[in-house]
Amino acid sequence: MDYKKFKVHLKDMADRGFSIQESIAFRKPFLPLDMYGCSELIQTPLNTAMISRLHRSFGTNITLMELTQHNWNELFKDAKLGPITSENMYTFFYEMSEQIPFEFNDRDYYSSYELARIMNVPDDEMILQLQAGRYKGAFIDQSGQWRKKKPNSSGKFS
């Protein structure tokens, strides 16, 4: 997914009441890190003023997991993000997220429910594992469902 589609997806999911965490899947190891830690691992780091603004609004040493429990509209309003800062946040989230294929066949992907049954774990535990980035390439589709590619005919995940 390109950057413009990513922004539209995040806004659309926020309008439908989904949190950022329920809208996009973050790559490992970002979710447990604080904002400084995340910022150091990506190509376009957040500037100090932006991190200070987030700390004033949400508390110091806020982790990405805590920040993404808000939906985009709440984050934008509560942190009083201006247009430039907002654009930087989109870029920040985009660089840490798994890419979402917009056109895919449901038969080629497991849902979180199916993965939970296969792994014999409760649904909420499977979602926590997906959020933590345990399953490489897992993403959240337009309906808010977690998806993970099924193995190909040779039994390997692509």
> In the numeric block, which tokens belong to residue 8?
């539209």
pTM, entire model? 0.72
Residue at token pair 């201006």: 82
What's the number of domains the chain is made of?
2
Do residues 78 and 126 share a domain?
A: no
Would residue 156 count as lying in a domain?
Answer: no
Do residues 144 and 121 share a domain?
A: yes
> In the numeric block, which tokens belong to residue 103?
């056109």
Do residues 111 and 46 share a domain?
A: no
Would residue 68 count as lying in a domain?
Answer: yes
Is the confidence at residue 2, as pLDDT, over 80? yes
Do residues 16 and 86 share a domain?
A: yes
Do residues 75 and 136 share a domain?
A: no
- pLDDT at residue 122, as a whole number: 92
pLDDT tens per residue across span 76-116: 887 777 788 788 888 888 888 877 776 778 888 888 899 89
CA-wise closest residue to 141 among 94, 88, 114, 103 = 103
> In the numeric block, which tokens belong to residue 115?
């993965």
Do residues 21 and 92 share a domain?
A: yes
- pLDDT at residue 45, as a whole number: 66
Would residue 101 count as lying in a domain?
Answer: no
Q: Where are the beta strands (DSSP E) in the chain?
A: 109-111, 139-140, 146-149
Do residues 75 and 115 share a domain?
A: no
Is the confidence at residue 157, as pLDDT, over 60? no
Domain membership of residue 49 as a residue range: 3-96
CA 51 → CA 6, 35, 60, 76, 133, distances in Å?
Answer: 22, 7, 9, 14, 24
Do residues 48 and 92 share a domain?
A: yes
How far is Cα 36 from Cα 128, in angstroms, rounded to an integer? 23
